[in-house]
Structure 1
C-alpha cells in the first residue's frame, strides 16, 4: 500500500479520501484493514498532525494542492502479536501533462530519504512496478546520503539500499 500511494497520479481537486483506498487495497484483498489514517498533514514546531490535508477514510473536503506535505503511513497491527508501518513524508507536486492525456495530473514526491528495511520486505509479493519503485527509491537514498557519511556508514548504506 505504501508504494501504491507513493506512485499514484491524480487530478486537481482530489481529496485524500479518494486516494486512501490505493493504500488499503492490498490489505483489503487479504480481508484485513487498519483503523488509523493513511496520512496527515505535517507542520512545524512539533505540530506533527497538521491539516487541513488528510488521507484517510474521513471525507475531509480539502483538496490536495501542490506543496502540501503529508505522511504516507499505511500499516497493519495484529493485536498482541505484531505490527508494521512504513512511514515516509510525501509532497504534492505541480500538475504535469501526461503524454496522450487530456488533463495534467499531480503526484507525490517522496521526501524522506531513509532506507526501507529489506529484512522486512517479502520481495516475492512485490509486483515488477513495486520492485522498480523500491530500487529507484533506494538508489536515490544511496546517492543522496553517501557523500555525507563516513566510510563505515557508507558501506552499511550500500547494503541497506541494495537492489531487490
Structure 2
C-alpha cells in the first residue's frame, strides 16, 4: 500500500512517461509503415525518448518488442538473432516500463502497422472490453484479485479463447515492477486495499501470427456509491497513452465502453499535448480524437 507521497510521485512519473510514450508512438506511426524499422530499433527509440525526460534512472525490465509472430510469444525478448523487421500488416506489441525516482511505470500497447485484419480488430476489441471492465470495476473493500480476474476474460471466453497469464500484478514505487502479494489472477487471494497499484493487462496470442495486450497501471481508490452498505473501491487509471483506435471494432462496444475510451483519450490529450513538439501534437490530436457509434 502506497502512502500519499508515493501516490503523488507515481502520478508525476506517469505524466512524465506519457510524454515519452506519445513521442514514441508518433514516431512508430511515422516510420514503421515504410518497413525500415526492426524490433530492436523500437526498443532503442523508446528508451531514448525516456532518457530525454532527464529523469530516467533505468528501464523497469527488458522491453518486450514483438512484431508479427514474435508478438504471440508472451515473454518474448528480442535478440540480434530473432530481431524481426516491422512490416505493413503486422501488429507490434511493445511492453515496457521506466524507473523514475518518484515512481515506476509499466505499459503495453499494441500498434497496427498498416491495415489490420477483421480478426485482429475482433480480438483487440475483446481484449479492450476486458481491460475496460477492470478499469471501471466497483468492488467491496476486501475483494481479492481472483474475484476480479474473470471480468477481463469474459469477452474472450465468449469466443472460446483466453490468455494464459494473470490479468495484473502489483507494482512498486521506485521498487520492483512485479511486487507481491497483490495481483489480479485466478490465484490472487490477497484482498485489494486502497493505495495498492496493480497492472491491468489482458491479452490474446495467436501462435505464429500476432499478439495483443493492452496494459495500464491502476490505483485502488475509494468509490462513492449512493446507498452503499459497505465500503466500495474502484480503480483510478495512472497510465496515459493512446490506445490504437484503428484496431477498435465500434460495433462491438457498448455506449459506456465507448464513453470510457473517449474520456480516457481526453485525459491523455490534456496531460500530454502541452509538452510535445508540433508533429507529435498533430499525431496526438488524431490518436485521441473522439470515436462515435
TM-score tier by shorter-chain length is over 0.9
**Deviation of residue 86 (structure 1)?**
0.5
Q: Is the 8 A contact 1:64 1:92 kept in 2?
A: yes
Q: Is the 8 A contact 1:97 1:103 kept in 2?
A: no
Q: Structure 1 stretches (4+) deviating beyond 3 angstroms?
A: none
Separation in 2 of the partners of 1:64 and 1:46?
19
2:73 corresponds to 1:73:
no
**Deviation of residue 56 (structure 1)?**
0.6
**Deviation of residue 144 (structure 1)?**
1.0
Separation in 1 of the partners of 2:173 and 2:221?
20
- Give the TM-score normalised by structure 1: 0.94
Deviations 1:84-133 (A, max 9, x none): 10011111002x33113222310001100000011121122111110000
**Deviation of residue 40 (structure 1)?**
0.3
Deviations 1:47-79 (A, max 9, x none): 221111100111x32110111111100001011
Alpha carbons of structure 1 residues 118 and 63: separation in structure 2 relative to 1, 3 Å: same
Separation in 2 of the partners of 1:142 and 1:108?
20
2:250 corresponds to 1:92:
no
Structure 2 segments unaligned to the other structure (5+ residues): 1-129
**Deviation of residue 45 (structure 1)?**
4.9
2:158 corresponds to 1:29:
yes
2:257 corresponds to 1:130:
yes
**Deviation of residue 158 (structure 1)?**
0.5
- Give the TM-score normalised by structure 2: 0.53
Count of aligned pairs between the two proteins: 162
User: Which of residues 171, 183, 189 in structure 2 aligns to 1:61?
Assistant: 189
Structure 1 segments unaligned to the other structure (5+ residues): none
Secondary structure, counterpart of 1:93 in structure 2: strand
User: Which of residues 21, 38, 61 in structure 1 aligns to 2:167?
Assistant: 38
Separation in 2 of the partners of 1:159 and 1:10?
34
Separation in 2 of the partners of 1:105 and 1:29?
28
Q: Comparing both structures, which one devotes a greater share of its residues to helix?
A: 2
